[in-house]
A = this chain, B = another copy of it.
Amino acid sequence: MKLPKKVTLKEVGPRDGLQNEPQQVSTEHKAAWIDRLSKSGLSYIEVTSFVHPKWIPQLADAAEVLSSITRQPGITYAALVPNRQGLERALQANIDEISVFMSASDSHNKNNINKTITETLPVLKEVVSEAKASGKTVRGYLSTIIACPYEGKVSPEQVKDIAARLFDMGIDELSLGETIGVAVPPEVERLLEVLLPEFAAERLAMHFHDTRGLALANISKSLEMGITIFDSSLGGLGGCPYAKGASGNVATEDLLYMLDAMGIQSGVRMEGLIAAGELMESILGKPLKSRQMEIHRRGGK
């Protein structure tokens, strides 16, 4: 089993996690949590989203979060940006990197962004070129890369075509989102067999939701295929809007356990994640659902 020696974990909990949590978290608590995450060895934290507050009220304090955190050298602090207005706000907040997003299936894209894929592409193109002109790196998110909650299976060719459009716009990296957590390893393998001849593995990230407990199986297969960037969320925060109450993103600490046991370096320290998890448990007043937090609470190791 050929595995990479080193990977990068991109922590998306403060954005993808909190935007799907029913509970509102105060700016002060968000900043305290992000500051604790900054001490765990993570090199990338997506801290918020500059979408309009009426869409995601949980993240209405995007600018305040960015001005409240203590940025650490060597860490990229990123934020999601849906359009030019969002980009302006993100640039004013002196963000390090921005992310643009769309879906690989038309009906999920419409439901999420209120535009068709064809209508979305020029909007993103404008945002990407302005961000690049401002000296920022840009990450693309592509959702529903295996299946769409409305349309069912999405073909690898469809994903490849949209990925090519996004790279043509000038994005630096593409995060492939398995939005509804239905994929199994052979599907991940087939998708990557189509994508990897076209795009460098170093520019692709995998973003798995753990709805059906398959995220680590899919990450293990992605590692075998040469992928070295993975999105995850501390404590598996987030949930899935298509299966209410189900699990969210793969938990950063559960992924770290697997990587450590595989001998793959990430630079992230388990005790740092556990400390950030304990803080979030006290903020939310509920236990986080990851296996590592569960084992930690029970006094195991």
- Which residues of A are at the interface with B, using a C-beta cutoff of 8 A? 1, 3, 182-187, 189, 210-214, 216-217, 219-221, 242-247, 251, 254, 257-258, 261-262, 290-292, 294-295, 297-300
Contacts and interface: CB of A to CB of B under 8 A. Distances in A.
Given A1-B186, A217-B220, A221-B220, A257 B299 contact: no
A183 B258 CA distance: 9
A144 to B, nearest CB: 16
B216 A213 contact: yes
Contacts of A212: 254, 257-258, 291-292, 295
Given A213-B216, A216-B216, A243-B298, 16 more contacts: A1-B186, A3-B186, A184-B261, A185-B220, A186-B262, A211-B295, A212-B258, A212-B292, A213-B254, A216-B217, A220-B220, A242-B300, A244-B299, A246-B294, A246-B295, A246-B300
Contacts of A183: 261
B213 A291 contact: yes
A291 B1 contact: no
A258 B184 contact: yes
- 4 tightest A-B CB contacts, nearest first: A243-B300, A217-B217, A184-B261, A245-B298
Contact of A291 (B242, B247, B298): B247
A259 to B, nearest CB: 9
A48 B150 CA distance: 44
